[in-house]
Structure 1
Amino acid sequence: MSFKIAIIGAGSVGFTKKLFTDILCVPEFKDIEFALTDVSEHNLQMIKAILDRIVEANRLPTKVTATTDRRKALEGARYVISCVRVGGLEAYADDIRIPLKYGIDQCVGDTICAGGILYGQRNIPVILDFCKDIREVAETNVKFLNYANPMAMNTWAAIEYGKVDTVGLCHGVQHGAEQIAEVLGAKSRQELDYVCSGINHQTWFIDLRLNGRPIGKDELVAAFEAHPVYSQQEKLRIDVLKRFGVYSTESNGHLSEYLPWYRKRPDEITRWIDMSDWIHGETGGYLRYSTETRNWFETEYPQFLEAASKPIDPEKRSNEHASHILEALETNRVYRGHFNVKNDGVITNLPQDAIVESPGFVDRFGINMAAGITLPEACAATCISSINVQRMSVHAAISGDIDLLKLAVLHDPLVGAVSTPEEVWQMVDEMVVAQAAWLPQYAHAVPAARERLSTSQVKTREWAGAARRSVRSIEELRAEKTALAQVG
């Protein structure tokens, strides 16, 4: 087979390498072309060198090109994969820093909450530019695979306004299933069968079976509470399981910022999180992790390049959906996964215009979703709160309506539990001014926002958050990796 895959945001080096090696685990795909594009020439050349080394080491005919000219990369592409972060770590730092001044403590800030909403405002205009180019120069029946967060907002904009055949992809369901299989003592993941449905980062295991035997709430709670690690790392998630009756796909830290109950009082936050790793609730945890990872890659690049000389091992193919979807579409080997699509009857008790994450099957006819799923009422209520925020956020990003943007942030569950309307209005003004370089749709609103900030009487504070850690140096990271290797 010979076709072209374009990867936008290919400078996300580790993730691009994973997608690349996954796809090349499919024997029929050895003759395809990968077209890499990114705004950073430096990052592009780093990842191209790694992928070229993989191709050479495995003696493959695969073609790899790299260009900052996105339209050129998209020409003739059958598949387009996006893993962009508009504004990079600089803008992301403001997504965490500014809300903290108003008492909003986020762990990740990339889905909803103040940080996720502003992230969407930066991404959506760029996503629509991608879609315009895709419509004009890619293959006629091109499929757009979006991995970029905020997943639901980006996918919503691409489908509704970009008019491109789009599916959103995430690995939260797979990670949650791995945890459940482990606590239940499954010998392999294949012993666990499940239906997981909801919206991205708020998806729920509504049907669980181990070797065909249904698993109920009480058994699952007992299994998690007996686990020596998860009982400490997933305290909030287990509490939600006890109250809702079903387990959430999302990590302790992620889930904590989508709900209005667990992060609203600074003295309560540490009760529900765990500091053994960033993903369990640390303030700005993903920002720290991302910064350290980038610094480590830049410093240790020769080691990454050397590691690329190893043969591709199909047994180590990851559970990221992209390679499996492409394999099913091209070879008709059926794949079952969980995908982000427009609802349209997939989930009966969520809005039909929403982007939902739910089970589907892929073959040469496309992605075929299982329809008619009904969520437990509490799960639906929680999802609907987020969907309302997402809808307003998408519409604000499209229109450049700063008042609608403020209303979207005001209606966010955690923001609403922490901040007053006056604080929200000022916070949004401050974020829009700070991120003006990446928010062209709000250029007309920036002067007035800056003027309001100069006369505002709303008090703020410089606060690091309830559980903040400093970014570690390369020396500290190296010492930690050495210690872990010795223990292992």
Structure 2
Amino acid sequence: MSFKIAIIGAGSVGFTKKLFTDILCVPEFKDIEFALTDISEHNLGMIKAILDRIVEANNLPTKVTATTDRRKALEGARYVISCVRVGGLEAYADDIRIPLKYGIDQCVGDTICAGGILYGQRNVPVILDFCKDIREVADTGAKFLNYANPMAMNTWAAIEYGKVDTVGLCHGVQHGAAQIAEVLGAKSPGELDYVCSGINHQTWFIELRLNGRPIGKDELVAAFEAHPVYSKQEKLRIDVLKRFGVYSTESNGHLSEYLPWYRKRPDEITRWIDMSDWIHGETGGYLRYSTETRNWFETEYLQFLEAASKPIDPAKRSNEHASHILEALETNRVYRGHFNVKNNGVIANLPQDAIIESPGFVDRFGINMAAGITLPEACAATCMASINVQRMSVHAAIAGDIDLLKLAVLHDPLVGAVSTPEEVWQMVDEMVVAEAAWLPQYAHAVPAAKERLAKSKVKTREWAGAARRNVRSIEELRAEKAALKQAG
């Protein structure tokens, strides 16, 4: 087979390498072309060198090109994969820092909440640019695989306004299933059969079977509470399981910021999180992790390049959806996964226009969703709160409507639990001014926002958050890695 895959945001080096090696685990794909594009020539150079080394080491005919000219990369592409972070870590830092001034403590801030909504405002115009290029220069009927957050908003914009065949992809379901299999004592994750449905980062395991035997709430709660690690790391997630009756796919820290109950007061936050790793609820945890990862990669690049000389091992193919979807579409080997698509009746008690995450099957006819799912009422209610925020956020991003943007933030569950309307209005003004370089659709609103900020009397505070860790230096990371290696 010979076709072209374009990867936008390929400068996300580690993730691009994973997608690349996964795809090349499919024997029929050795003759394809990968076209890498990014705004950073530096990052493009690094990832191309790594991928070229992999091709050479495995004696493959695979073609790899790299360019900052996105349209050139997209020309004739059958598949386009996006893993962009618009604004990079600079804008992301403001997504965390500014809401903290108003008492909003986020762990990740990339889906909803104040940070995720502003992230969406930066992404949506860029996603529409991608879609325009795909329509104009990519292969007819090209499929757009979006890995970038905020998943629902980006996918919503691409389908509704970009008019491109789009699917959103995430790995939260796989990670949650692996946890459940482990606590139930499964010998392998494959022993667990499940139906998981909802919206991205708020999907719910509504049916579980271990080797064909149904697993109920009480057995699952007991299994998690008996686990020596998860019982400490997933306290909030277990509490939601007890109250809702079903387990959430999302990590302790992520789930905590989509709900109005667990991060509303600083003294409550530390009760529900665990500081052993960022993903369990640390303030700004993913920002710290991302900063450390970038610094580590830049410093240790030669080691990553050397590791690329090893043969590709199909047994180590990851459970990221992309390679499996492409394999199913191109070879007709059926793949079952969980995909982000427009609802259109798949989940009966969620809106038709919402972007849902639910089971589907892929073959040469495309992605075919399993319809007729009804979520438990509490799960649907929680999803509905986020969907309403997502819808307003997408519409605000398309129109550059700062008043609708403020209403979207006001209706966010955690923001509403913490902040007053006056605080929300000022916070959004401050975020739009701080991130103006990445928000062209709000250029007309920035001067008035600056004037309001100059006259505002709403009080804020400089605050690091309820559970903040400092970014570790390269030396500290090396020492910790060495200690772990010695202990293991």
Alignment TM class, shorter chain as reference: over 0.9
- Where 1:167 maps in the other structure, the secondary structure is strand
- Residues 328-378 of structure 1 deviation map (CA, whole Å, 9 limit, x = unaligned): 000000000000000001000000000000000000000000001000000
Whole-Å separation in 1 of the counterparts to 2:468 and 2:154:
29
Whole-Å separation in 2 of the counterparts to 1:419 and 1:189:
42
Q: Which residue of 2 aligns with 1:51?
A: 51
Whole-Å separation in 2 of the counterparts to 1:254 and 1:339:
19
- Residues 139-191 of structure 1 deviation map (CA, whole Å, 9 limit, x = unaligned): 10100000000000000000000000000000000000000000000001111
Whole-Å separation in 2 of the counterparts to 1:37 and 1:362:
27
Whole-Å separation in 1 of the counterparts to 2:449 and 2:157:
26
Whole-Å separation in 1 of the counterparts to 2:40 and 2:390:
29
Q: Which residue of 2 aligns with 1:66?
A: 66
- Once the 2 structures are TM-superposed, how far is the Cα of residue 425 of structure 1 from its aligned partner? 0.1
Whole-Å separation in 1 of the counterparts to 2:163 and 2:120:
18
Whole-Å separation in 1 of the counterparts to 2:421 and 2:194:
41
- Once the 2 structures are TM-superposed, how far is the Cα of residue 485 of structure 1 from its aligned partner? 0.5
- Residues 52-83 of structure 1 deviation map (CA, whole Å, 9 limit, x = unaligned): 00000000000000000000000000000000
Whole-Å separation in 2 of the counterparts to 1:80 and 1:53:
23
Whole-Å separation in 1 of the counterparts to 2:190 and 2:221:
21
Whole-Å separation in 1 of the counterparts to 2:11 and 2:191:
37
Runs of 5+ consecutive residues of structure 2 not aligned to the other structure: none
Aligned-residue CA RMSD in angstroms? 0.2
Q: Which residue of 2 aligns with 1:328?
A: 328
- Once the 2 structures are TM-superposed, how far is the Cα of residue 400 of structure 1 from its aligned partner? 0.2
- Residues 226-247 of structure 1 deviation map (CA, whole Å, 9 limit, x = unaligned): 0000000000000000000000
Whole-Å separation in 1 of the counterparts to 2:358 and 2:34:
29
Whole-Å separation in 1 of the counterparts to 2:443 and 2:141:
35
- Residues 85-133 of structure 1 deviation map (CA, whole Å, 9 limit, x = unaligned): 0000000000000000000000000000000000000000000000000
Whole-Å separation in 1 of the counterparts to 2:432 and 2:356:
28
Whole-Å separation in 2 of the counterparts to 1:164 and 1:315:
33
Whole-Å separation in 2 of the counterparts to 1:177 and 1:140:
36
Whole-Å separation in 2 of the counterparts to 1:111 and 1:5:
27
Matched residues, percent identical?
Answer: 94
Whole-Å separation in 1 of the counterparts to 2:456 and 2:141:
52
- Once the 2 structures are TM-superposed, how far is the Cα of residue 483 of structure 1 from its aligned partner? 0.4
- Where 1:206 maps in the other structure, the secondary structure is strand
- Once the 2 structures are TM-superposed, how far is the Cα of residue 44 of structure 1 from its aligned partner? 0.3
Moved over 4 A (4+): none
Alignment of 1:13-52 (within 5 A): 13-52=13-52
- Where 2:262 maps in the other structure, the secondary structure is coil
- Where 2:287 maps in the other structure, the secondary structure is helix
Whole-Å separation in 2 of the counterparts to 1:191 and 1:103:
44
Runs of 5+ consecutive residues of structure 1 not aligned to the other structure: none
Whole-Å separation in 2 of the counterparts to 1:228 and 1:299:
35
- Residues 220-276 of structure 1 deviation map (CA, whole Å, 9 limit, x = unaligned): 000000000000000000000000000000000000000000000001100000000
- Where 1:397 maps in the other structure, the secondary structure is helix
- Where 2:425 maps in the other structure, the secondary structure is helix
Whole-Å separation in 1 of the counterparts to 2:313 and 2:94:
40
Q: Which residue of 2 aligns with 1:165?
A: 165
Whole-Å separation in 1 of the counterparts to 2:30 and 2:187:
33
Whole-Å separation in 2 of the counterparts to 1:114 and 1:120:
10
- Once the 2 structures are TM-superposed, how far is the Cα of residue 295 of structure 1 from its aligned partner? 0.1
Whole-Å separation in 1 of the counterparts to 2:475 and 2:190:
41
Whole-Å separation in 2 of the counterparts to 1:245 and 1:176:
15
- Residues 266-297 of structure 1 deviation map (CA, whole Å, 9 limit, x = unaligned): 01100000000000000000000000000000
What TM-score results when the alignment is normalised by the length of structure 2?
1.00
- Where 1:478 maps in the other structure, the secondary structure is helix
- Once the 2 structures are TM-superposed, how far is the Cα of residue 41 of structure 1 from its aligned partner? 0.3
